[in-house]
Amino acid sequence: MNHRILHALERHTIRPTPMRMLVLEHFLQQRSAQSLAELEAAMPRADRITIYRTLKVFVEKGVLHQVEDGAGASRYALCQDACEEGKHRDFHPHFHCTVCGRTVCLDAVHLTAPSLPAGYRLSEVEMTVRGVCPDCAR
């Protein structure tokens, strides 16, 4: 029983089911954002719908955020501690490597929200930077 996983679920008021624990454990082991297809491949015994529902709950509860990788796929990545239910604070760009295809969070880079015209309300700022990651540039 992994205490880090249980604690993370508890903090976000998510009932710990074996599936949820499995999915969260997978994310804690990965450095790059994961797509649904990658999760399916990593968990051959789980079905797609269950994995998808788990991802949806995690996004709603502020455990994962959705990442557009700029190559047409939706991926998911772990949130920072500041995220909570219905309120994400992942104001960082994502980097998509065109060589290895991995997408990572650039947590250390802060995205400044653009100032919007009157009447517009901001809920999310998304930026994907494409290029070559340090591993592939070597």
76: how many CB neighbours lie within 10 A of its CB?
24
- Count of residues binding Zn ion (CB under 5 A)? 12
Cross-strand pairs, 23:
none
Q: Which of 79, 95, 96, 103 binds Zn ion (CB under 5 A)?
A: 79
Strand, coil or helix: 67: strand
Q: How far is the CB of 137 from Zn ion (least distance, A)?
A: 8
Q: Tell which positions 118-137 bind Zn ion, by CB under 5 A.
A: 133, 136
End-to-end distance of the chain based on CA atoms, in angstroms?
Answer: 38
If one asks whether residue 105 binds Zn ion (CB under 5 A), the answer comes out as yes
3-state helix vs strand vs coil in the chain, percent to 5: 35, 20, 50
Q: How far is the CB of 31 from Zn ion (least distance, A)?
A: 11
Q: Name the residues that contact Zn ion, by CB under 5 A.
A: 65, 77, 79, 83, 88, 90, 97, 99-100, 105, 133, 136
